[in-house]
Amino acid sequence: MSEPGSPVLASRTRSKAWTAYSADPLSVIGLVIVVAIVGLAIFAPFVTPYPDHVGPTGDFAAMNAAPSADFWFGTDVIGRDLFTRIIYGYRLSLIMAIVVLAIATPIGVIVGLVAGYKGGWTDYILMRITDVFLAVPPLVLAMAIMGFLEPTLLNGMLAITAMWWPWYARLIYNVTRAEAQEGYVLAAETVGASTAHILFREILPNCWPSILTKMTLDIGFVILMASSLSFLGLGVQPPTPDLGSMVADGAKYMPDAWWLTVFPAIAILLVVLGFNLVGDGLREAFEAES
């Protein structure tokens, strides 16, 4: 009766997913970029040459210095090391992205699960609300919110969160609608399981691949969005190092002090690209797994 097979099947499918992931060189490049950026951000105080340049004061002896052995990416108008500030900028961006997604994802996932499983009026009301949010262009919505609120780090995150959860609601709604047709949901119902059990213990685990993939892709996009807001002066305020503000400030000194704009811009590009490559790789790996 019993078939020969590994008793630890879970690890076998996991390794299958890893094989699929590592087979694609772009996914591996993405992972290297992400690991490098996250590592630099976490250990910023130890890996940056001038950790005290985070604040409002720099090295006045080296204002507007071009890239050199001392200052790899050059310095800004008050002599702060750009490399140091970019790494700290990464730190802030990553924290923002994580906080935004940590709030937006659960809201969106719960709305999507309930609407997708319950159907009827619940579905109609929840999804129409979601659609209203989705209908407004994200940056416009965030700018509108920021227009009412003071431009602070916290409010910036709030604005981005408000425009982010509907995407998760839509995604999880669609996954839930499909999963609800599966026999295992019917089985849980006939066995007498509660709605909470069916939503969170039966359907949610099957949403994880979609959620993880989207979150990974979104870290890059949230960083981009936050940078756009601060580029417009609606986000983080000086002297906190922020990639978007650095690009904006540096733009005034183009093309003479080109490094002030080019390096932060490349930094944004790199982090968005890295998370995107990892997200795409994850999507394909999850597909290979099932």
Partner 1 sequence: MTGNAPILELDRLGKVFSADGHSVAALDDVSLAFTRGECHAIVGESGSGKTTLANLVLGLIGATSGEIRFDGATLGRSRTREQKRAIQLVQQNPLSALNPRRSVGASIRLPLDVHDLGRRSERDARVASLLQEVGLEPEHARRSPRGLSGGQRQRIAIARALACEPELLVLDEPTSALDVLVQARVLQLLQRLRQERGLTYLFITHDLAVVRAIADRVSVFQKGRLVETGPVETLFSDPKSAYTRELIGAIPVVTEAEAALRAAIRAGAPVPAGAE
* Burial class of residue 219, CB neighbours in 10 A (0-12, 13-18, 19+): buried
Q: How far is the CB of 169 from partner 1 (least distance, A)?
A: 21
Q: Which two tokens stand for residue 99?
A: 């906080």
Q: How far is the CB of 16 from partner 1 (least distance, A)?
A: 10
Q: Is 206 in the site for partner 1 (CB under 8 A)?
A: yes
Q: Is 28 in the site for partner 1 (CB under 8 A)?
A: no
DSSP output for 53-71: GGSS---GGGTTPPS-SSS
Question: What are 267's strand-pairing partners?
Answer: none
Q: How far is the CB of 282 from partner 1 (least distance, A)?
A: 16
C-alpha–C-alpha distance, residues 162 and 63, integer Å: 40
Closest of 173, 170, 160 to residue 93, by C-alpha: 160
Size of the site for partner 1 (CB under 8 A): 28
Does residue 243 contact residue 86 with C-beta atoms inside 8 Å? yes
For 15, the enclosing helix (H) or strand (E) is helix 9-22
C-alpha–C-alpha distance, residues 91 and 267, integer Å: 12
Nearest residue (CB) to partner 1, 13 versus 68? 13
Tokens 């982090």 -> residue: 271
Q: Is 4 in the site for partner 1 (CB under 8 A)?
A: no
Q: Is 192 in the site for partner 1 (CB under 8 A)?
A: yes
Q: How far is the CB of 204 from partner 1 (least distance, A)?
A: 9
3-state secondary structure 203-269: HHHHHHHHHHHHHHHHHHHHHHHHHHHHHCCCCCCCCCCCHHHHHHHHHCCCCCCCHHHHHHHHHHH
How large is the C-alpha radius of gyration of the chain?
Answer: 23
Among 69, 135, 190, 255, binds partner 1 (CB under 8 A): 190
Q: How far is the CB of 21 from partner 1 (least distance, A)?
A: 18
Q: How far is the CB of 219 from partner 1 (least distance, A)?
A: 24
Stretch that binds partner 1, among 74-82, 165-173, 204-212, 215-223 (CB under 8 A): 204-212
Nearest residue (CB) to partner 1, 11 versus 174? 11
Q: Give strand ranges (E) for the chain.
A: none
Q: Is 15 in the site for partner 1 (CB under 8 A)?
A: no
Closest of 130, 124, 131 to residue 108, by C-alpha: 130
Count of CB atoms situated within 10 Å of the CB of 19:
12
Q: Is 18 in the site for partner 1 (CB under 8 A)?
A: no
Among 77, 99, 188, 232, binds partner 1 (CB under 8 A): 188
Q: Is 14 in the site for partner 1 (CB under 8 A)?
A: no
> What is the x/- site pattern for partner 1, positions 133-172, by CB under 8 A?
----------------------------------------
Q: How far is the CB of 205 from partner 1 (least distance, A)?
A: 4
Among 61, 69, 135, 191, binds partner 1 (CB under 8 A): 191
Interface residues with partner 1 (CB under 8 A) are 1-3, 5, 7, 9-10, 12-13, 182-184, 186-194, 197, 201-202, 205-206, 208, 290
